[in-house]
Chain A
Amino acid sequence: MHPAPSVIFFTVFSGLGFGFLAWLGIGIPGPQGWDAFPYFFVAYLLAVGGLISSTFHLGNPKNALKAFTQWRTSWLSREAWMAVGTLSVMGIFAAANIFFKIQMPPLGWIGAIMALVTVYTTSMMYAQLKTVPRWNHWSTSALFILLALGGGAILAGDVFGTLVFLTLAFVVQMYVWIAGDQRFAARGHTLETATGLGTIGKVRLYEPPHTGTNYLLNEMVYVVARKHVLKLRLIALLMGYLLPLLLAGLSGRLFELQITALVSHIIGILTQRWLFFAEAEHVVGLYYDKR
């Protein structure tokens, strides 16, 4: 799949933002009054900024409001509802805190759960796609949620949360890569099943339908070199997971190295997300003999 900046920024930053909101919802780190403003401001900036970024991927954004209509079937629609719902609930929670210093922990907990569900709906837009076997698995959602919590924990300055969730995310990430590399083949999608010609023999593309490119190739067929992948995976692992974990571990309870950890994490996860798209092979590539 084409690693479009709009969807990379969308998933990375909205994930971070909603993850941060989840921590804020359960009262971690628990700022009060106007002191809470910068926390919520950053969380909303990330969450809303990410959502806005996603609209750059739309061909026809003027109809965007219609995306709320199909929550019964569409994960994108559900994501829209959940995002708005979460931002509203957490908005009330935040406003009560900032402007009136009123703490409403139950509302915060509800908001926190909604924030994670929002991240889940985001992940399901990808995980639901049978056409992209690498994504079409529970581990996609697990990783999205764990990264939201891990990244959110860094933002929240919570060393323990960072250590726990980034470590879990790291473990899932390793599984996602190892299992993901096998899944396309495991699902049995081949040029032979794609064409139904396998009963005759081994199929190869002889002439593509058009000599130039097209939307399908630009959007869904992205070929990234193997050695490139390994290098980027290493960067993602070091910057996204290991360095933040190390920095959190080296920090005291106040997470003195929080900013460095955050910057490293964001760079690492942007890289991870680029790979998430770039490495994802869509079955349509079979028809072009390109995966």
Chain B
Amino acid sequence: MTHHQPAIETSPKVSDEIRKTTCYMCACRCGINVHMKDGKVAYIEGNRDHPVNKGVLCAKGSSGIMQVNAPSRLKNPMLRVGPRGSGEFKDISWEEALTIATDWMKPLRETAPEKLAFFTGRDQSQSFTGMWAQAYGTPNYAAHGGFCSVNMAAGGIYTMGGAFWEFGQPDWDRAKLFMIFGVAEDHDSNPIKMGIGRLKANGGKIYGVNPIRSGYNAVADEWVGITPGTDGLFILALVHELLKAGKVDLNYLAQFTNSPVLVNDDPKSDDYGLFLRNKSGKMQVIDRKTGKLAAFDKKGVKPDLAATHKVGKTPYRTVFQLMAEKYLSDDYSPDAVAERCGISAGRIRAIAADIARVAFDEAFELDIPWTDFRGDKHKTMQGRPVAFHSMRGISAHSNGFQTARALHMLQIILGSVEAPGGFRFKPPYPKPVEGHPKPHFGVTPGKPLNGPHLGYPQGPEDLGLKEDGTAVRIDKAFTWENPLSAHGLMHMVISNAHAGDPYKIDTLFMFMANMSWNSSMNASGVMDMLTDKDEDGEYVIPRIIYSDAYSSEMVAYADLILPDTTYLERHDCISLLDRPICEADAMADSIRWPVIEPDRDVRGFQSVLIDLGVRLGLPGFVDENGDAVYKDYADYIVNHQRRPGVGPLAGFRGKDGKDVGRGEPNPNQLQAYIDNGGFFESHIPQDASYFKPWNAAYQKWAVEVGLFDHEQPYLFSIYSEPLRKFQRAAEGIGEHQPPEHLREQLKVSMDPLPIWYAPNVEENEAGGEYTVTALTQRPMAMYHSWGTQNAWLRQLHGLNPLYVPTKIWEAQGFKDGDWAKVSSPHGSITVPVSHQAGLNDNTVWTWNAIGKRKGAWALDEGAPEATKGFLLNHIIHELLPGKGDGLRWNNSDPVTGQAAWFDLKVKIEKVAPPDEVQPNFPPIKSPVGKGPKNLAWKVGK
């Protein structure tokens, strides 16, 4: 009999219209096509033309429709009526809300602007929020970098003028060996996944250095299951092996790094450890051709790595010799580090040999002539097909800054940074430390701050200290406790404000930072600090203003709520002034625009800030007549000029929209972006595409398009002179002196050459009972706390077991369904456990930010996120255990103040399963009610 089958419509209409904007389901900032039906969002897919994702889209991005319809969306401004933490609010109008906010903030500005602390969380508009804070005049502004990855950013900037994450990327098409250290699975997520796919298709090999074999490490050809916090030691052992075998790119080191620069080698000299400079301050090298001193950037100079020199009686030798002396030491031999790293010496030797083989035996040259900053011409571009990437696995330790530096040194000695096949910067990077602002601390009541809050100190004189030696900033950034805290210390704001150390504040103003839950160390402690009252019955932190789009845990702890829009209802710019979306081959930026209008009484936070700026009369927000300069954020994006001709968006500038980078504001700029798919891209000329820090063609192009105003070639700083200046101060030299109790810490941590030291906690707990490192990472399908309110994503990760390695699993006699008590010196939690074989023997871990407080995010109180999901945050303190000196020691990197989340050490005991995870907190009254029971979401007919 014949085969019957129904006729079906294989060409149904897909949508009425596609609106192209930028995703904000995480920080990756992919381009998306939003398919509209009847004016509603019907389907979201990746934008094929977009430089970041080239059409692909992750689970988060594809589920955006469930974020835009989430029942957790805040609906209107609210004023707290119940006690803090209760979740009891009354709805108020925007006029009331903005009046209250102005009434709170205006008197502070006139008298003591530092009493306003303005901290933004996962903010993608820091160049704007920073400008607002500067105009207000408070020194207390930062975003979330301090608890995220400042070690990685600062380690990179101080070493090579750029870092991983959005500042650079592997040369995916040419790399043959790729080594990835500790990357949270959601970081730079689509580009890394795409790159891994490409690298594998090209037959490349991947090394995953991570205690946990999941995600990227699951597809790695070689898994190096390192013990947390010892990455630096492993890296320095690789450096040891490579140096010992002479497998380093001497040519690259001599030309492009400060390894040939002469360093004062007289321990008795006040300038011991500082560079030899000529009268104009230029670093001096010995020219191998002449044997004489020469400036590092002299045309035709052949800097000598092996040189020694004397000025008078003062001996000088090159950085390279200091490196050789330090890293050839047996302290860094594979045998010396193997046990501590949890990697056998034989394996370390094999990995070093494999890296050397690929870097040097598989090296290639690109037939692209180029000219360097000295004016010397190169016929080809020397490729080194070894690329590295790293994120929080390195940076969230208290030795993370130096570990990041060590990794960059490894890349640099291989000659692979900015070389074909290696690691490449994305504009506006490379940019040397000197190309960044220094931090500013000049507070004058009623006036703006004297410059940008955040920056890169170059010596003790750049610290933010008052005459009495106390910190200018509430978070104690840029103090001797953590001198290079380039992103601030958001994790210390509430703790310090509560302790009145260095001073009390009046109003805490926060945006998109879930401080009373997953964005704080010591979440339970923070809840107490936020609700604590003084003897007068007033809250110790008197006023809290909070802006968020969703009913997060933090909402309940604020007094005034300014509801933000979702990402499809707003204007945004992903700006070159901020955290751009460039590719190594192109300058790019993008926008968000309201592809739908809000169905609630909410406003984009940045437009609200502009409104507040006008009400407060902030310079830059009002003109001389007191009238608003910008109508709203969209108006700011188009018309603001940071420097003449340079604004938030680089594309379609000038009256006719044809200028790139520099040009007058174009009133039709946003429409031009929309017409172009929501983004702008301009390709880097081919001869400028590699060796950017030294490539004259790149430097010229970068000035032309306004990335910077003058060419700024520089050498990579394997030896960091700014670090030496702080170390030198700790040794007692110079006018700026640290307090006695910090001298030893500074002497160790501010070593000008990359080093490894044991993380804080390990030292404190040596020989103690807390021997297992507890880590978190985010799954690829969730972003911080946001995924939980998403009906699709929460089915993927609705709870988070503690993953336990085989050794501990068996020792504790765990079975599926068991629970464990996990204790740190700070407290304990009781949580479900699960077995993972691909896990370092002394490590446990869980997915981050799955656990939720009952009543938050419009979820049912019985939601698995609240009954089985948990946070490790409760057992991580923002301070180290007391040392008996009465001082509050940060649980942070002593160089940058980066929150040392991953230093957490615990012990684990099997316990009888409780009804739900412990600790559990009373439910918050949901200010937005609960979500619907069932969903069958179809927009079209």
| B798 at interface, CB cutoff 8 A | yes
Within the complex, what minimum Cβ distance (angstroms) separates A201 from chain B? 11
**A113-121, A205-213, A252-260: which lies at the interface:** A205-213
CA distance A207 to B837 in the complex (A): 12
Report yes or no: B836 in contact with A211, Cβ–Cβ below 8 A: no
Residues of chain A contacted by B61 (CB below 8 angstroms): none
Within the complex, what minimum Cβ distance (angstroms) separates A238 from chain B? 33
| B797 at interface, CB cutoff 8 A | yes
| B648 at interface, CB cutoff 8 A | no
Summed over the interface, the residue pairs from A and B with CB atoms below 8 Å come to a total of 19
Question: CB < 8 Å: which of A206, A207, A212 contacts B798?
Answer: A212
Mark contacts of A28-72 with chain B using CB atoms, 8 A cut-off: 1 yes-contact digit, 0 otherwise.
Answer: 000000000000000000000000000000000000000000001
Q: Which residue on B lies nearest to A72, using beta carbons?
A: B1
Chain A residues with a Cβ closer than 8 Å to the other chain, count: 8
Report yes or no: A211 in contact with B837, Cβ–Cβ below 8 A: no
| A189 at interface, CB cutoff 8 A | no
Q: Which residue on A lies nearest to B800, using beta carbons?
A: A211
Question: CB < 8 Å: which of B1, B834, B864 contacts A212?
Answer: B864
Report yes or no: A210 in contact with B795, Cβ–Cβ below 8 A: yes
| A204 at interface, CB cutoff 8 A | yes
Residues of chain A contacted by B834 (CB below 8 angstroms): 207
CA distance A210 to B797 in the complex (A): 6
The range of chain B's interface size is 10 to 19
User: Within A170-226, which residues are at the interface with B (CB < 8 Å)?
Assistant: 204, 206-207, 209-212
Residues of chain B contacted by A210 (CB below 8 angstroms): 795-796, 798
Residues of chain B contacted by A212 (CB below 8 angstroms): 795, 798, 864
| B844 at interface, CB cutoff 8 A | no
Mark contacts of B793-812 with chain A using CB atoms, 8 A cut-off: 1 yes-contact digit, 0 otherwise.
Answer: 00111110000000000000
Report yes or no: A206 in contact with B796, Cβ–Cβ below 8 A: no
Q: A211-B796, A211-B797, A212-B795 are in contact. Are A206 and B836 (CB under 8 A)?
A: yes
Interface residues of A: mostly helix, strand, loop or mixed?
A: loop
Residues of chain B contacted by A206 (CB below 8 angstroms): 836-838
Report yes or no: B837 in contact with A204, Cβ–Cβ below 8 A: yes
Within the complex, what minimum Cβ distance (angstroms) separates A210 from chain B? 5
CA distance A24 to B489 in the complex (A): 87
Within the complex, what minimum Cβ distance (angstroms) separates B763 from chain A? 34
Of A204, A206, A209, A212, most buried by chain B (CB within 10 Å of CB) is A206
Q: Which residue on B lies nearest to A214, using beta carbons?
A: B795
Within the complex, what minimum Cβ distance (angstroms) separates B676 from chain A? 38
User: Within B832-889, which residues are at the interface with A (CB < 8 Å)?
Assistant: 834, 836-838, 864
Residues of chain B contacted by A72 (CB below 8 angstroms): 1
CA distance A107 to B836 in the complex (A): 66
CA distance A254 to B216 in the complex (A): 76
Question: CB < 8 Å: which of B1, B799, B838 contacts A211?
Answer: B799
Within the complex, what minimum Cβ distance (angstroms) separates A224 from chain B? 16
Within the complex, what minimum Cβ distance (angstroms) separates B190 from chain A? 21
Within the complex, what minimum Cβ distance (angstroms) separates A112 from chain B? 32
Question: CB < 8 Å: which of A204, A207, A209, A211 contacts B864?
Answer: A211
Residues of chain A contacted by B796 (CB below 8 angstroms): 209-211
User: Within B1-43, which residues are at the interface with A (CB < 8 Å)?
Assistant: 1
Residues of chain B contacted by A207 (CB below 8 angstroms): 834
CA distance A211 to B779 in the complex (A): 13
User: Within B578-593, which residues are at the interface with A (CB < 8 Å)?
Assistant: none
CA distance A209 to B793 in the complex (A): 11
Residues of chain B contacted by A209 (CB below 8 angstroms): 796
CA distance A211 to B864 in the complex (A): 9
CA distance A210 to B795 in the complex (A): 6
Q: Which residue on A lies nearest to B839, using beta carbons?
A: A206
CA distance A210 to B838 in the complex (A): 20
Residues of chain A contacted by B864 (CB below 8 angstroms): 211-212
Q: List 11 A-B contacts (CB under 8 A).
A: A206-B836, A206-B837, A206-B838, A207-B834, A209-B796, A210-B795, A210-B796, A211-B798, A211-B799, A212-B798, A212-B864
Q: Which 10 A-B pairs have the closest CB atoms?
A: A211-B798, A210-B795, A211-B799, A212-B798, A210-B796, A212-B795, A211-B797, A206-B836, A211-B864, A212-B864
Write the residues of chain B forming the contact surface with A, with a CB cutoff of 8 angstroms. Answer: 1, 795-799, 834, 836-838, 864
Write the residues of chain A forming the contact surface with B, with a CB cutoff of 8 angstroms. Answer: 72, 204, 206-207, 209-212
Besides A210-B798, A212-B795, 17 new A-B residue pairs in contact (Cβ under 8 A), listed by A number: A72-B1, A204-B837, A206-B836, A206-B837, A206-B838, A207-B834, A209-B796, A210-B795, A210-B796, A211-B795, A211-B796, A211-B797, A211-B798, A211-B799, A211-B864, A212-B798, A212-B864
